[in-house]
């Protein structure tokens, strides 16, 4: 039987989307492709497909040997421009790290990106278009799902809120590009609502904006709580406690938190980013500044019909990113990856993924 080795160190850093994406993808293919592949995780040794979920230097060192046995597949979770708003690195370290990111991607036989806009960006870095494939993220509905009304209210009370409190939830690492400062300003401007931000400084003092954000996080307005890093197993309860998911990020790829919130059928309010247009269609409310966010949140709180329509949009997005459709894409992709080596390292790219 053909073999796949899933290589990742994502679980070493809690509270980041790369870890969630990795866990979901491995679970999906283990469940759906077990008749065709033996799937290993961080196996010492080489397999027919070496799927690199993280860009560890030890992976890079053994790539020449890995490619003698099988096909090297790289997962593109970030580019230098997205890292730039996440980590605060010294200038020299930044240049070396950014060079290494692209060098790692160029060393792969095939790449997978979770946002179609990143295909052109990767081509701009000198990577052949025929090596790059788009497969969206996926979230299992056995891990993230809506709760019934009474259970939802019970969770709200367990988190310290009254049944009639309107709770706005933000989820993600505490870093400048996530729009945390805007989230705080909006909470301060809307004392009639309760705000919660789930996430922490996953990379400690290296998180972009750490010093300034730390001061604000330690002195939030009364209607805003920062939970710190939340274990993934608790997140479904947190989504179900909330009334809306609000993420004012300035830069994203395809946040797992958006899929998780859609699975829980929460209305989504997001900044109007180009990265969302293809992957989220019309399934979310959008804003370009704090005034527009405040207006949308007020409408969600006071207009039940508007709230219902917004919730229906999330349900549509949830249905689109179904388990079967994403699994089929992985099935086609891994078959393509096997074809490279079985063809004597011929570049078999004629039939692209749909």
Q: What is the pLDDT of residues 62-102, one digit of tens each?
A: 999 999 889 999 999 888 887 776 666 778 988 999 999 99
What average pLDDT does the segment 247-276 reach?
Answer: 92
Q: In what order do the strands lie in the sheet with 2-7?
A: 37-41, 2-7, 49-52, 71-76, 110-113, 132-134
Buried b (16+ CB within 10 A) or exposed e, 9-38: bbeeeebbbbbbbbbbbbebbeebbeeebe
CA-CA distances (angstroms) from residue 246 to 61, 63, 261?
Answer: 41, 40, 10
Higher model confidence: residue 61 or residue 229?
61
Q: What's the confidence (pLDDT) of residue 82? A: 77
Confidence of residue 343 (pLDDT cuts 50, 70, 90): low
Kindly state the DSSP code that residue 129 receives in the 8-state scheme: G
> What are the residue ranges spanned by the domains of the chain?
2-138+322-342, 149-320
Domain range 2-138+322-342, CATH architecture: 3-Layer(aba) Sandwich (3.40)
Q: Which helix (H) or strand (E) holds 171?
A: strand 167-171
Res 353 pLDDT > 50:
no
* Nearest one of 71, 19, 40 to 333, comparing CA atoms: 71
Average pLDDT, the chain: 89
Q: What are 146's two structure tokens?
A: 């809506």
DSSP for 9-76, written as a single string: -GGGSTT-HHHHHHHHHHHHHHHHSTTTEEEEES-SS--SEEEESS--HHHHHTHHHHHHHSEEEEEE
3-state SS assignment for residue 325 = helix
Confidence of residue 349 (pLDDT cuts 50, 70, 90): very low
The residues near 267 (Cβ < 8 Å, ≥ 6 apart) are 243, 244, 245, 285, 300, 307, 310, 311, 313, 314
Percent of the chain with pLDDT over 90: 61
Please list the residues that pair with 134 across neighbouring strands: 113
pTM of the model: 0.80
Class of domain 149-320: alpha beta
149-320: same fold as 2-138+322-342? yes
Cite the DSSP H helix spans in 135-289. Answer: 149-158, 180-189, 210-218, 232-241, 256-263, 274-280
**pLDDT tens for residues 276-312?**
988 898 999 999 999 999 999 999 999 999 999 999 9
Q: What's the confidence (pLDDT) of residue 350? A: 40
CB 209 within 8 A of CB 88: yes
Question: Rounded to an integer, what distance in angstroms lies between the CA atom of residue 346 and that of residue 327?
Answer: 25
Q: What's the confidence (pLDDT) of residue 140? A: 87
Confidence of residue 351 (pLDDT cuts 50, 70, 90): very low
- Characterize the bridge pairing of strands 268-271 and 244-247: parallel
**pLDDT tens for residues 213-227?**
888 888 999 999 999
Res 175 pLDDT > 60:
yes
Kindly state the DSSP code that residue 141 receives in the 8-state scheme: T
Q: What's the confidence (pLDDT) of residue 247? A: 96
What average pLDDT does the segment 186-196 reach?
Answer: 97
Res 192 pLDDT > 50:
yes
Res 348 pLDDT > 80:
no
* Count helices and strands in the chain by DSSP H and E runs: 15, 12
Phi, psi of 133 (to 5 degrees): -130, 145
**pLDDT tens for residues 225-259?**
999 888 888 899 999 999 999 999 998 878 889 99
Question: Rounded to an integer, what distance in angstroms lies between the CA atom of residue 95 and that of residue 89?
Answer: 9
**pLDDT tens for residues 116-164?**
889 999 999 999 999 999 999 888 888 999 998 788 888 888 888 999 9
Q: In what order do the strands lie in the sheet with 224-228?
A: 224-228, 194-198, 167-171, 244-247, 268-271, 285-287
């Amino acid at each position: 039987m053909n073999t796949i080795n899933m290589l990742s160190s994502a679980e070493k850093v809690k509270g980041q989307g790369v870890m969630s994406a990795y866990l979901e993808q491995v679970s999906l293919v283990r469940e759906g492709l077990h008749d065709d592949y033996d799937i290993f995780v961080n196996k010492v040794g080489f397999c027919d497909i070496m799927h690199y979920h993280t860009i560890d230097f030890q992976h890079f060192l053994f790539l020449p040997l890995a490619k003698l046995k099988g096909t090297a597949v790289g997962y593109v979770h970030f580019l230098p421009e997205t890292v730039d708003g996440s980590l605060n690195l010294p200038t020299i370290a930044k240049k070396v790290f950014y060079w290494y990111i692209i060098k790692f991607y160029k060393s792969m036989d095939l790449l997978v990106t979770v946002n179609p806009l990143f295909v052109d960006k990767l081509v701009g870095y000198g990577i052949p278009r025929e090596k790059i494939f788009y497969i969206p993220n996926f979230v299992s509905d056995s891990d993230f799902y809506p709760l019934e009304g009474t259970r939802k209210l019970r969770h709200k009370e367990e988190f310290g809120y009254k049944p009639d409190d309107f709770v706005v939830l933000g989820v993600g690492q505490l870093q400048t590009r996530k729009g945390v400062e805007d989230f705080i300003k909006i909470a301060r401007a809307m004392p009639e609502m309760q705000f919660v931000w789930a996430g922490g400084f996953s990379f400690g003092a290296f998180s972009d904006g750490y010093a300034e954000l730390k001061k604000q996080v330690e002195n939030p307005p009364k209607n805003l709580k920062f939970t710190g890093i939340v274990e993934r197993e608790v997140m479904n309860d947190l989504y179900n406690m909330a009334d809306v998911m609000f993420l004012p990020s300035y830069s994203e790829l395809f946040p797992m938190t958006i899929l998780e919130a859609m699975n829980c059928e929460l209305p989504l309010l997001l900044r109007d980013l180009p990265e969302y247009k293809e992957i989220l269609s019309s399934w979310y409310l959008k804003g370009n500044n704090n005034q527009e966010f405040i207006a949308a949140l007020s409408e969600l709180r006071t207009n039940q019909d508007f709230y219902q329509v917004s919730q229906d949009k999330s349900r549509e997005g949830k249905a689109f990113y179904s388990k079967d459709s994403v699994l089929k894409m992985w099935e086609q992709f891994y078959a393509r990856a096997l074809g490279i080596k079985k063809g004597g390292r011929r570049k078999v790219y004629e039939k692209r993924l749909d």
